[in-house]
Structure 1
Amino acid sequence: MTVLDIRALNRATLARQLLLDRADLPVLDAVAHLCGLQAQEPQEPFVGLWSRVRGFDPAALSDLLTGRRVVRMHLMRRTVHLVTADDALAWRARHDGMLRQRVLGVYRRELAGVDLDELATAGRAVLADGEPRSMTGLARELADRWPAPGPRALGEMLLALVAVVQLPPRGLWRTTAGVRNVPLSSWLGREIDPPAPPGRDPVGEALMRRYLAAFGPASTADLRAWSGLAGLPAAVTAIRDELVVLRDERGRRLWDLPDAPRPDADTPAPVRFLPAFDNALLGYDDRSRIVDDAHRNLSVAGERVVLVDGRVAATWSVAADTVTVAPLRRLSRAERAAVTEEGAALASLLCDSDRVRVATDAP
């Protein structure tokens, strides 16, 4: 059985994530390939796509949002993701149970005694008039009927029970706007794909294939960490004859598509700036392929990171007209020059400047 050392696994990850070479892809195709981008911070997907798509124009993503070809919604891990309209319709029902359970994990006591099916029906009835609503606005309209939970718990559960999307202008380039929700099916003019009947899990199998194309090689624990879904090992078992089995240096079993790229471990990796909460980090249970254990929680904390030689080596921020880089390790002269060059290009995107400041190297 082929064993991938940490560097080979890193290069495979970068290739799948479009971080080894920027891709010549339409933005819609890039979003689809990546299985969406985490997007609770509305401007972050623009940086994620700029780092992955050659010649990326932010207006192209804004146009896809207003044109209803991509949407913002709670999905994987109950976090806001930017996904294609087709994937939103195909995947939402498969995430229903997970979304409900994650809200109950936080608000079980407040929601005790609430009939969730009845709440979902009432929520859909309120939203049927087509008027966009905030989460708290939706909850307040039902608070007389369910006064005990409070607007936060009631609103969070409503957004888990009823498939909604966040409307533009939220998520548009250089735009600040609050969250307004409408039903997914009414926004797209198409119905959500129904849940699969008991038995085989075609959506789970498709998710596994798509995940490996964008994140593999990976374990079932990695797939679960990305999706938040339980029950996917059965989907892996159903398609295991399509897959190859590899191992990492610690002996973990990794699944992969047979023809997916696994570049040589010595393949050069360019500097890349990643946005907050990027799935290149959060899409795995074991993130050691791309970040040292000492820094594994940087992205969870909302830090933006810089990849140098394929690994997290710095954080970055932007203020006024300057991109500031804070190294996590000592950078060589060549690495500092590459970081500065890529940072200047990012500054041009974000603040129409080329000003970059690389702070003193970490000890």
Structure 2
Amino acid sequence: MDISRRALTRTLWLRQGLVPGQRLPGGVPEVVTHLIGLQAQDNLPPYLSLAARIDAFTPADLSDLLGRRELVRFLTMRGTVHVLTADDALQLRGWVQPALDRQSATNQTSRPAKHLSTEDLDGVLRDFVVEPQPLAAIGDRLVEAFPGIDPVALKHVARERLPFLQTPPRGQWKKSGGVVYAYADRFLDRPFAEADVENLVLRYMAAYGPATAADMTKWSLVTRLGPVFTAMHKDGRLTTVTDDKGRTLYDVPGASIAEEDLELPVTLLGMYDNIFLSHADRDRIAPDDVRKNWMGANGGVGSALFVDGLLGGLWRVEDGRVVVEPFRAPTKSQASQLEGEIERVEALLASP
């Protein structure tokens, strides 16, 4: 079976629950589970992500779950913070840890402390972070144990090497508070679990497919997934399609492929959203000629506007109002949809 880029784009939107009338079933926990977490490097994007995917979503729907420890903020895929269910947090961190270790070894900020082992850091902090501790206090304890090493590097390498999650009120709606860390297993009062990699492949395909092993590596930073894909295809648990570039993409057997004429809404999402951070080849969502307008030296330069399923502009908030900068003039229909999107997002931002 062949699949066009246009159909790939629409299939991604469909599987992400971003098509009105074809939402994902369930509420916040079910959507977060389906997406295998929400990118949450900043506080606002996960709220924008859920508001675009769940009708009648309110910020309390996410904020309260963070407060009840049913969802957590945790450094996992791509070395960035994600909002995850407790179950996924406890299996995903161990799965991505080798990738985080590799990233830590080459990170400029962490470099002055890269010679410290995980055992060195855990030996100092395991009995200190019995209860959640502010990042500043953790830094002071590390400086005391390892004098002469850059304090910033010590704090940075600790969050990369040790399974520290961010405790509330961090990430809760309109609540202030600095970064306070806790060991994830202690905070959740449950042990870590070994990841079921083959099940993660199936889940990734259900939310982001059809895709390649390289795409899943881009999403997770975990390498050597090719043999897993090959074995799963051989025994029938994955099927394949061919895209416009002649690449073989894997998928879940029987999964829905969207029609090329599926209408996609003009949508305002956060600076970081799963939909355009989860593939090595981003042509299906953010072709290079437009993505360069979003990408700065250290990441995104603005929140993302999507038009006809593709990155189509930037937006920002000024004094509670949404200011949009499309990359090209919208059609009359798109302009009308954009006006409605602006009203929707401004209402969300004004939520108590």
1:118 Cα deviation from its structure 2 partner: 2.4
Per the TM alignment, residue 328 of structure 1 is displaced from its structure 2 partner at its CA by 0.4
How many Å separate the matches in 1 of 2:111 and 2:171?
33
Distance in 1 (CA, whole Å) between partners of 2:15 and 2:111 is: 42
Question: Where does residue 123 of structure 1 map in the other structure?
Answer: 125
Q: 1:246 to 1:149 in 2, by over 3 A?
A: farther
Distance (Å, rounded) in 2 between the aligned partners of 1:143 and 1:287: 42
Q: Distance in 1 between matches of 2:123 and 2:196?
A: 25
Letter in 2 for 1:203: D
1:77 aligns with 2:72: no
Matched residue type, 1:247: T
Q: Secondary structure, in 3 states, of the residue corresponding to 1:125?
A: coil
Superposition CA RMSD, Å: 1.8
Paired position in structure 1 for 2:277 = 282
In 1, Cα distance between equivalents of 2:155 and 2:258: 46
Q: Which residue of 1 aligns with 2:224?
A: 231
Whether the 8 Å contact between 1:73 and 1:165 is mirrored in structure 2 is yes
Aligned 8 A contact 1:277 1:302 in 2: no
How far 1:113 sits from its partner (Å)? 4.1
Change beyond 3 A, Cα 1:131–1:250: closer
> Is there any run of 5+ residues in structure 2 with no aligned partner, and where?
none
Structure 1 position 177, deviation (Å): 2.1
| 1:176 aligned residue | 176
Q: Distance in 2 between matches of 1:58 and 1:71?
A: 15
| 2:106 counterpart of 1:111 | no
What is the rounded CA distance, in whole Å, between the counterparts of 1:92 and 1:321 in structure 2?
36
Match of 2:268 in 1: 273
1:70 shift after superposition: 0.5
Q: What is the identity, as a one-letter code, of the residue corresponding to 2:51?
A: W
Q: Distance in 2 between matches of 1:258 and 1:305?
A: 32
Write out per-residue CA displacement over residues 272-326 of structure 1, whole angstroms, 9 at most, x where no aligned residue: 1111111111111111101231122416414211212111122111222321111
Q: Which residue of structure 2 lines up, in the alignment, with residue 325 of structure 1?
A: 324
Q: What is the match of residue 133 of structure 1?
A: 134
Matching residue's letter, 2:15: R
Q: Does 1:222 align with 2:221?
A: no
Secondary structure of 1:127's aligned partner: coil
- Please say which of residues 138-147 and 45-54 is displaced more in the overlay: 138-147
**Could you tell me which amino acid in structure 2 is paired with residue 57 of structure 1?**
T
Letter in structure 2 aligned against 1:94? W
- Shift of the 114–282 alpha-carbon distance from structure 1 to 2, 3 Å rule, reads same
In 2, distance between residues paired with 1:24 and 1:325? 31
Distance 1:131 1:321 in 2: 33
Q: What is the deviation of 1:218?
A: 0.7
Q: Confirm or deny: 8 A CA contact 1:43 1:172 kept in the other structure.
A: no
Counting aligned pairs with the same residue, the percent is 32
TM norm structure 1:
0.90
- Aligned ranges for residues 59-208 of structure 1 at < 5 Å? 59-107=60-108, 109-111=111-113, 113-128=115-130, 130-134=131-135, 136-194=136-194, 203-208=196-201
Cα 1:112–1:185 change in 2 (3 A) is closer
Cα deviation for residue 261 of structure 1 reads: 1.8
Encode CA deviations 1:133-188: one digit per residue, 9 max, x unaligned.
21x43132022332243112211221122211101111111223211001101111
1:115 positional shift: 3.6
**Cα displacement string for residues 94-151 of structure 1 (whole angstroms, at most 9, x for unaligned residues):** 11211111111115751354343222232222212x14221x4313202233224311
Task: Classify the secondary structure of the residue corresponding to 1:314.
Answer: strand
Q: CA deviation at 1:351?
A: 2.7
**Between Structure 1 and Structure 2, how many residues are aligned?**
343
Is the Cα–Cα contact under 8 Å of residues 132 and 182 in structure 2 kept in the other structure?
A: yes
Structure 1, unaligned runs of 5 or more: 195-201, 353-363
**Distance in 2 between the 1:159 and 1:81 partners?**
14
Q: Does the 8 Å CA contact 1:50/1:56 hold for their aligned counterparts?
A: yes
